[in-house]
Structure 1
Amino acid sequence: MLAMALVMAGVCNGLLSCSQYSNKPISKAYHNLTAHYNAYVIARDRLKEAETILFKTRQENYNQILPIYLPLDSTVSQPVKAQLDDAIKKASMIAERHQNSKWLDDGFVIIGKARLHKQQLDDAMEVFKYVNTRGTDENDKHQALIGLMRAYVETGDYGNGLNVAEYLRAQPLTKANTRDYYLTKAYLHQKKGEYAVAAAILDATFPMLKKGESTARLHLIAGQLYDVIGQSAKASEHFASVLQSRPTYDQSFYANIYLVQSQGLTSDGKRAAQATNTFNRMLEDRKNADLQDKIYYTMGLVEARRGNYDKAVDYYRKSIQTTTTNTAQIPYTYLELGKLYFEHKNDYVRARMYYDSSLALLPAQAPQFAEVANRKKVLDEYVDYYTTIQTQDSLQRLAQMNPAALDKFLDNVIAQREQQSRTQAALAQQAANRPSNANNALATTSDLQPNERWYLYNPVRLSQGRQEFTQRWGNRPLEDNWRRSTKEASAALAGDNNPLTGANPANAVNPVPAITANPATDGVAGGQGAAARTQRDALYAQIPLTREAMEQSKFRMENAYYGLGKLYKFQLNQPADAISTFEQMLTRFPNSGYKPEVYYLLHLSNEQAGRTSGWKEKLLAEFPNSSYARLAGRSAEGTPSANSEIKAQQVYTDAYAQYKAGNYPESLSQVQSALATFAGSHVEDKLALLRVMLIGRVDGADAYRQALSEFIRDYPASSLVPHVKELQAAADGPTAKRR
């Protein structure tokens, strides 16, 4: 072949007909030969070398469904930048020097693929489009369209990706192009979350694949996809196929894990026992010493899916305890613990701690990161409301004690704190003296589990510590004398029963447990020195002993009840707990300003829980002119008749005439009555806006602003909302006048 190339070069050196723009046979033969061996083969091999390195050095996260194609990342591709650049350079030589070569389209395809790996998606798409429109070889054009489809998927343009896929579906593709088309289309549906379609397309791809690591990986992905959509039998088939495809050790390990997991979910007791025995054998295998955390995690998943939540918790904790150097598993274990306490145990305080720990370690690019962050935010709100209720309730109880008993109780609290400080100092000293036994020294604390990792390596313990510190000391800056008694006390000092002990609220009982301890009988004599008196004065400052302080405490508690009830109703989807919380609120605060809304929410919560109640009738009877009464009435109304629409329009015209004439009270009475009578009519939002304007005239600026806010809340789809927002901005402005 080299001799032939030399001969061709010698011939062409003497002939002008070997120009790259000539279509003569000798010229084309020369440029085909030179382009193939001097450019295309080198570019192809360099691209293949880069792809092999990227595949061999990939980092897989087996806690998630693996992507069919490795994610494009310019940072990850940096180690193969030289190979990719060389591939582009060599392939570009074909376009620069061999325009009449049959390898021109192939060179452009290589350039497009290299651009993809470098995450230069716009450039890659331009190249692929050029080949499709200007190329001469149909197979190369199909290959370019497959690359274009991949580029569309990576940019999230699934619509155009599907359009390309539909065109290719009708084309006569080669076996290699058919394989790549199937893989790319499966990848598209996987990215869209259409797992059943992606798995089915993968099934059609396997007959075209050879055994090996890449095929084993695709079988593992197919098994994961089928597992997610609940087809455990098909999932098991693919996990078994992984073991028959010459997998790596990690692939075979996780295939076995998933296979045993699927078998463990069966109702067949014998197969479930076999799964447990297999897990135990895997734990005893020395080759799995660094993977025990994953084994225990999977055992926890199996028990959780069976409904054995306590056993699942034990296995999850063992997973955390057995983690060595690789901490990638930990955030997912914490996440499962958080989900278990949130969804099955309704222990939101403990769930919040695990979500907090998971979020601290979970990669920001993880698919579930946003969901975890949102749920953690809801749980933060829950803990804030819950702690406020417990704190203020306990402080109000302390305020009712006689001074002597209160002094005695506070002395006991101070003594307990001093004892805790001495114990913690002793443990710290032990840890300093025996650093190799730090785990054992700390394992004597109250809730540290046997063999649990050292405190500072345990995100749950750190989260608990941060929470307890904030409850006891507040959000204090890092500075000298941060603990001095003259610091302003935090409002969130509540534990389960006593706001001054700094107890962990994780033992709380939902929704709002009553205080059972009797602080008047719990105290014992404490220290009487100056330091003790200073601490006692600081504690006294938190107790609402004056009328003003008690009113503020009750106000904070009322708002916390209100917020907690709404959280149960709308965020946690627990109507029974919402009902209980709102009813407790009305018992504690019968004259609450939130009463109309609470009545309405109680009506909705009882409907959601399938209960009958009289809250709607109570709302209509006590607050007939409130916006919540109109909402309740509107939900019970059907579509207004044509006659009702005519009457509603007439009432609106009359009420507006009264408004223009300055008869504001009479007009307001008409509008209030019409809103209750003609709920759901076409002029309802106009009546509501007229009501807002009349309230401004009759009741003043504050009531006017409140009415504007109610209109936006109650009529979000109304065409009048932009105008109302303008009125709201004017009313809130510095030059707002009384209307």
Structure 2
Amino acid sequence: MKGLFKYVYFLLGLFTIGACSSERNTWTSKAYHNATAHYNGYYYAKEEVRKVENTLWESLIDDYNRILRLYPELDTALAKSYDKEIQEAIKMASIAIQRHPNSKWVDDCYILVAKARLYSMDWGNAVQTLKWVNSKSKDPDARHKAIIQLVRTFTEHQEFNNAQAAIDFVEKEELTKTNRKNLLIEKAYFYQEQEDYDRMVRNLTEVAPMLKKKDKPGRIYFIIGQVYQKLGFEAEAFNFYKKCIATNPEYEVDFYARLYLAQVTEISRSKSVNAARKSFRKLLKDNKNKEFKDKIFYEMGVFELKQKNLDEAIANFNKSIREGTNRRIDGEAYLRLGEIYYDTLRKYELSQAYYDSAITSLPTDYEGYAEIKARQEILDEFVKNLNTIKWQDSLLVLAGLDSITIRTKIDSAFQAKKALADAKEGKKKRRRSNRIDITSNANSVFDTGGDDGNEETTDWYFGNLSAMSLGQSEFKRIWGNIPLEDNWRRSLRSTANQPANQNAADAPAEAQAVAAEEAAAPVDPVAAEYERIDKQIPRTEEQKKAALKQIEDAYYNLGDIYYFKLLEKDNAVITYNKLLDRFPETEYEPEILYKLYLFFKETDAAKSEVYASRLKAEHPNSTFTKILLNPDFLKESSQAVERQKTLYKKAYEEFEAEAYDSSLQTIEEAYAIGENSFTPSLDLLKILIAGETEDINKYQYLLTEFINAHNDDELGAYAKKLLETSQNFQKNQELNKGIQYIRSLEEPHYFLIVYKTEENMSLAASTALSKFNEDNFKDLKLKTSNLVLNDMYTLTLVADLPGITTALDYIKTFNEKLSTLTEFRNHKFHNFVITKDNFDIFYRTKGLDEYLKFFEKNYPAEIQ
């Protein structure tokens, strides 16, 4: 018996020795090499690749607010973490290929090498390896596997044309069931990467019956449900969410499947609605879903929005924001709220605030982010102009109130706010408020009403408890629940709460300085608010004009935003008409009349004709009138500009050659073509000729008039430089010759008070002189203004005194009543009258001492 065993062992040894040769083609050699290649090199290489795939799946953070990925995203940083496994897989597969070249596992080893190179993002070698298998392999199944893997590789590298070519090729082949399944999944991924969800879901639906447990069917069913829901096929989505739940997937997938299942439930009866709501409530009660509460409330909001229950939808979206810490879900809730207030309720101020929060919360790769950002910017612009109107109107109202009245209103408002805070403090439970505070202006302590195109109101902010409550919520959102007390700022509180043994010198120097300053002089909030507002109140005529100009521009901008960006035609018409009614001399009138003519042209011919008639009658030379009369005006004007440019070139060459008469004649020829956008260039050239042929004062006057007409364009800026150069030249000449004032006094005068700027009496002087004029020279309707003379002096000017007699009477009366004008007490200043021509010389040369000597010499002694 022992001899038999020895004989068997001897035969097995001969078999093994004979089978080890890779050159043999016997059945024993094939069996040996197939077994060894499979269970040594191929097996261990596949295990290393599996480790890499596990790492990729573990690194994937699913975003259930978007369609889940079929495969984890490849990343160069992550690839470095599994480089050891990649190299080991390539090594083991390569050994199997080299030692067992006739094995049937060689093709599979090459495919594993290609897959390892794909995961290491070595695209070129991965592609070449797969192409080699396709061209050299004699096994159709292996070639098909290689091409299917090639589809994945091209897709990951964003080479979609090559991927499509590979798909087209392999689809013509007869595939095994496994290869067919893998191809459908790769095609679905190919379409997902291109966001072609229709083709993606068709391939996934086709592959669904072929899936096995190792393919994670629950996840794929969930993805199919997501895509169908996105495409609007909610009945199909419902079926696949149910299939997903039936596979007992991992908990997070199961939760979201149940959540979305409630979303896509077919709602045909109130019973179904209640069942869906009950499903949401059940999810909320489950303690395992505690971390998902924000998402549940968000989906409840979406559900109620579909049922057109806006109040419930808004409430649920706000609960979603309160309950969670997921910025993306917060961002989507803010976005939904913004859309409700924008698209449905047309409350653009509220919408703007929610869109602002959405933009700060959503990632930049969020679907449609660019469109969301664009709408947010439109709303920002809208609210900015709306707040400009409210704020400037409020300041104009305050300009008519005395300081005591303003202080009283601010004080009563703060007392009301404190009483409201004390009342809320008495409640045992408080709910953290995440509602966005919508105030009319971040800088305003009062509200003069909204202007949304529909209504106007005027309410003092501190008299409006609702507005104050919103303001208090916003304060708490930023600063926390800080009691009403002095030195409430956090930096100071943190300093105050330091341990007693901590050295105060350890605190930052800036914090110490602030703490010391506020400890020495506690801030009175009423006084601080009064001081802040008082600085902005327009009191002089120039300041009021500036405020009104801001309101005028804001109305114009609002009208354009309503019509062109918000597509609110009716509100645009209302806003434009408000502008025309409030500012009948507005520079925007021709353009607005033309727009209103176009608005009503198709819908109300009679009203359209009214605006057209006004435009033609009131602005016959306007560009908009010309367009109204001749629709081809702009085209013809463009041609006219080109002809004028040619003549301008000729005129300028004549100007440089000092042929001024010929240059003027050419300019007149250009004028004859008609007025257009190039005409100001001709005007300026004509002024340059005047500078060479006329008196310097005439030249400077023409430049000044041109600057006034073109203050905001490039030609105006150039004219300013010309004027400045001319004035400096004239000033230098006058300094060389000595300042020469004009002795002709029989012309209109100004009355001037000149004082050192450090006296800080501009406001007091202009106020006192305005009252003096009203009391003593009311019929003359004199104007008062302040001007900076130079670095040392400022002046207050009264214009226009009709002649020398009135001027002498004015200064005499002023000197007689000076002792009663308390605003001028304890101030040093010079006062005198001066003709307009002499004022131009005085202001240009800054020759105060020279004019005082001239005044003393040429005016009666009793007024000096």
TM-score scaled to structure 2, two decimals? 0.60
Hey, what does 2:167 align to over in structure 1? 165
Cα distance, 1:391 vs structure 2: 0.6
Hey, what does 2:444 align to over in structure 1? 493
User: Where does 1:278-293 land on structure 2 (aligned, <5 Å)?
Assistant: 278-293=279-294
1:296 aligns with 2:297: yes
User: Where does 1:463-502 land on structure 2 (aligned, <5 Å)?
Assistant: 464=437, 492-493=443-444, 495-497=446-448
Could you tell me whether the CA contact under 8 Å between 2:204 and 2:224 is conserved in 1? yes
Query: Which residue of the other structure, out of 574, 578, 585, is the alignment partner of 2:579?
Result: 585
Hey, what does 1:510 align to over in structure 2? 452
The structure with more radius of gyration: 2
Query: Which residue of the other structure, out of 241, 245, 268, is the alignment partner of 1:243?
Result: 245
Identity of aligned residues (%): 29
1:277 aligns with 2:245: no
Hey, what does 1:386 align to over in structure 2? 386
Could you tell me whether the CA contact under 8 Å between 1:296 and 1:315 is conserved in 2? yes
One-letter identity of the residue aligned with 1:247: P
Q: Deviations over 1:63-108 (max 9, x none)?
A: 2222333333345566655444433343344566666655444334
Give the Cα separation in 1 of the matches to 2:326 and 2:649. Answer: 75
Q: Deviations over 1:9-51 (max 9, x none)?
A: 74477x6x65xxx999998877655443332222222223332
Farther-moved stretch of structure 1 (377-386 vs 129-138): 129-138
Query: Which residue of the other structure, out of 544, 567, 572, is the alignment partner of 1:573?
Result: 567
Q: Deviations over 1:471-518 (max 9, x none)?
A: 55xxxxxxxxxxxxxxxxxxx4375328xxxxxxxxx56347524237
Could you tell me whether the CA contact under 8 Å between 1:497 and 1:516 is conserved in 2? yes
1:372 aligns with 2:392: no
Give the Cα separation in 2 of the matches to 1:303 and 1:255. Answer: 19
Give the Cα separation in 2 of the matches to 1:421 and 1:274. Answer: 46
Could you tell me whether the CA contact under 8 Å between 2:225 and 2:236 is conserved in 1? yes
Hey, what does 1:308 align to over in structure 2? 309
Query: Which residue of the other structure, out of 676, 682, 702, is the alignment partner of 1:697?
Result: 682
Q: Secondary structure at the match of 2:74?
A: coil
One-letter identity of the residue aligned with 1:67: R
User: Where does 1:637-656 land on structure 2 (aligned, <5 Å)?
Assistant: none
User: Where does 1:68-87 land on structure 2 (aligned, <5 Å)?
Assistant: 68-75=70-77, 80-87=82-89
Give the Cα separation in 2 of the matches to 1:305 and 1:195. Answer: 23
Q: Secondary structure at the match of 2:265?
A: helix
Cα distance, 1:123 vs structure 2: 5.2
How has the CA–CA distance of structure 1 residues 164 and 375 changed in structure 2, closer, same or farther, with 3 Å as cutoff?
farther
Hey, what does 1:613 align to over in structure 2? 608
Cα distance, 1:546 vs structure 2: 1.1
Hey, what does 2:766 align to over in structure 1? none
Could you tell me whether the CA contact under 8 Å between 2:93 and 2:113 is conserved in 1? yes
RMSD, matched Cα: 4.8
Q: Secondary structure at the match of 1:579?
A: helix
Q: Deviations over 1:157-206 (max 9, x none)?
A: 44443333333332333322322222222233333333222222221111
Cα distance, 1:345 vs structure 2: 1.6
Hey, what does 2:334 align to over in structure 1? 334
How has the CA–CA distance of structure 1 residues 380 and 655 changed in structure 2, closer, same or farther, with 3 Å as cutoff?
closer
Structure 1: unaligned runs, 5 residues or longer: 428-439, 445-449, 473-491, 499-507, 523-528, 639-644, 673-690, 703-727
Could you tell me whether the CA contact under 8 Å between 2:410 and 2:462 is conserved in 1? no
Q: Secondary structure at the match of 1:69?
A: coil
Tell which has more relative contact order, 1 or 2 (C-alpha 8 A, sep 6+): 1
Could you tell me whether the CA contact under 8 Å between 2:446 and 2:460 is conserved in 1? no
Give the Cα separation in 1 of the matches to 2:285 and 2:308. Answer: 26
How has the CA–CA distance of structure 1 residues 554 and 270 changed in structure 2, closer, same or farther, with 3 Å as cutoff?
same
Hey, what does 2:496 align to over in structure 1? none
Cα distance, 1:543 vs structure 2: 0.6
Q: Secondary structure at the match of 1:62?
A: coil
Q: Secondary structure at the match of 1:263?
A: coil
How has the CA–CA distance of structure 1 residues 365 and 653 changed in structure 2, closer, same or farther, with 3 Å as cutoff?
closer
User: Where does 1:447-466 land on structure 2 (aligned, <5 Å)?
Assistant: 452-453=431-432, 464=437
1:359 aligns with 2:359: yes
Give the Cα separation in 1 of the matches to 2:417 and 2:243. Answer: 58
Give the Cα separation in 1 of the matches to 2:549 and 2:558. Answer: 14
Could you tell me whether the CA contact under 8 Å between 2:391 and 2:441 is conserved in 1? no
How has the CA–CA distance of structure 1 residues 659 and 539 changed in structure 2, closer, same or farther, with 3 Å as cutoff?
closer
Give the Cα separation in 1 of the matches to 2:129 and 2:719. Answer: 58
Q: Secondary structure at the match of 2:608?
A: coil
User: Where does 1:16-415 land on structure 2 (aligned, <5 Å)?
Assistant: 18=23, 33-55=35-57, 58-75=60-77, 80-94=82-96, 102-121=104-123, 124-132=126-134, 137-211=139-213, 214-263=216-265, 266-323=267-324, 329-399=329-399, 401-403=400-402, 406-415=403-412
Q: Deviations over 1:587-616 (max 9, x none)?
A: 333333344444454456557999973456
Structure 2: unaligned runs, 5 residues or longer: 1-9, 465-521, 652-665, 688-712, 724-864
Give the Cα separation in 1 of the matches to 2:106 and 2:721. Answer: 72
Cα distance, 1:337 vs structure 2: 1.8
How has the CA–CA distance of structure 1 residues 78 and 217 changed in structure 2, closer, same or farther, with 3 Å as cutoff?
farther
Could you tell me whether the CA contact under 8 Å between 1:566 and 1:578 is conserved in 2? yes
Give the Cα separation in 1 of the matches to 2:638 and 2:714. Answer: 29
One-letter identity of the residue aligned with 2:458: T
Could you tell me whether the CA contact under 8 Å between 2:321 and 2:333 is conserved in 1? yes
Hey, what does 2:490 align to over in structure 1? none
How has the CA–CA distance of structure 1 residues 93 and 321 changed in structure 2, closer, same or farther, with 3 Å as cutoff?
same
Farther-moved stretch of structure 1 (202-211 vs 73-82): 73-82
Could you tell me whether the CA contact under 8 Å between 2:352 and 2:380 is conserved in 1? yes
Q: Secondary structure at the match of 2:65?
A: coil
Q: Deviations over 1:629-653 (max 9, x none)?
A: 677789x789xxxxxx9x9999999
Could you tell me whether the CA contact under 8 Å between 1:293 and 1:320 is conserved in 2? yes
Hey, what does 1:675 align to over in structure 2? none
Cα distance, 1:545 vs structure 2: 0.8
Q: How many residues align?
A: 615
Cα distance, 1:664 vs structure 2: 4.3
Q: Secondary structure at the match of 1:270?
A: helix
Q: Secondary structure at the match of 1:112?
A: helix
One-letter identity of the residue aligned with 1:201: N
How has the CA–CA distance of structure 1 residues 600 and 67 changed in structure 2, closer, same or farther, with 3 Å as cutoff?
farther
Give the Cα separation in 1 of the matches to 2:719 and 2:36. Answer: 79
One-letter identity of the residue aligned with 2:535: A
Give the Cα separation in 1 of the matches to 2:372 and 2:639. Answer: 53
Q: Secondary structure at the match of 2:62?
A: coil
Farther-moved stretch of structure 1 (192-201 vs 294-303): 192-201
How has the CA–CA distance of structure 1 residues 186 and 601 changed in structure 2, closer, same or farther, with 3 Å as cutoff?
farther
